[in-house]
Amino acid sequence: MTAPYVLNPLLDLVMERIVDVPPDLVWLAWTSPEHLKQWFCPRPWTTPVCEIDLRPGGQFRTVMRGPEGQEHDNTGCYLEVVAPSRLVWTGALEPGFRPSSKPDPSGVGPFTAIITIEPHGTGTKYTATAMHRDPEGCQAHAKMGFHEGWGAAFAQLVEMAHELQRTR
């Protein structure tokens, strides 16, 4: 069965990487709070809180903390959990599938994130997609630095995975 979502270049931001990290480590990095906290925010930001209830309808919460102590508390709802290849969540719903009432000061609006993790030789082809409701939200997210931010975070994920490979 094909995936149910259809991308649209006017509405979606996509980041692709091919890396020498096995798929199961990329999955672990996204689904274990202990591991996610180590890479999720580009330094010097950190991720002091991560709560994961890994099932459709379950909570995905992170708190991102900046160098001056400012915090962003983000709560989303998982939609698809297909280990070790696809993880989908949205900010348009609160955990438990309730429509979100969160205000949107950024102008980005809620987005749905799709992480796909495909085997590529002994490594992984990684794709992170952010689906927006309108072109304005998509452009605002690009301007806020989607590619730079998600790219820097993923580089930290790869670094952590290499360290795990050396020590296990």
Return the number of the residue (100 or 139) whose C-beta is nearest a second copy.
Answer: 100
Instruction: Map residues 62-101 to x or -, x wherever contact with a second copy holds by CB under 8 A.
Output: -----------------xx-------x-xxxx-xxxxxxx
Contact call for residue 45 and a second copy (CB under 8 A): no
Per the structure block, which two tokens stand in for 46? 């950190």
Return the number of the residue (24 or 53) whose C-beta is nearest a second copy.
Answer: 53
| Among 17, 35, 132, 141, interactor with a second copy by CB under 8 A | 132
Return the number of the residue (43 or 102) whose C-beta is nearest a second copy.
Answer: 102
- Burial profile 32-58: b = 16 or more Cβ within 10 angstroms, e = fewer: eeebbbbbbbbeebbbeebebeeeeeb
d(Cα 133, Cα 3) in Å, to the nearest integer? 19
C-alpha torsion angle, residues 86, 110, 142, 162 (rounded to 10): -30
Q: What is the DSSP string of 35-104?
A: HHTTTSS-TT-EEEEEEE--STT-EEEEEEE-TTS-EEEEEEEEEEEETTTEEEEESSB-GGGPBP----
Return the number of the residue (101 or 167) whose C-beta is nearest a second copy.
Answer: 101
| Among 14, 32, 46, 110, interactor with a second copy by CB under 8 A | 110
Q: Which stretch binds a second copy (CB under 8 A): 3-11, 18-26, 40-48, 61-69?
A: 3-11
Q: Where on the chain is the footprint of a second copy (CB under 8 A)?
A: 1, 3-6, 11, 53, 55-58, 79-80, 88, 90-93, 95-101, 109-112, 114, 131-134
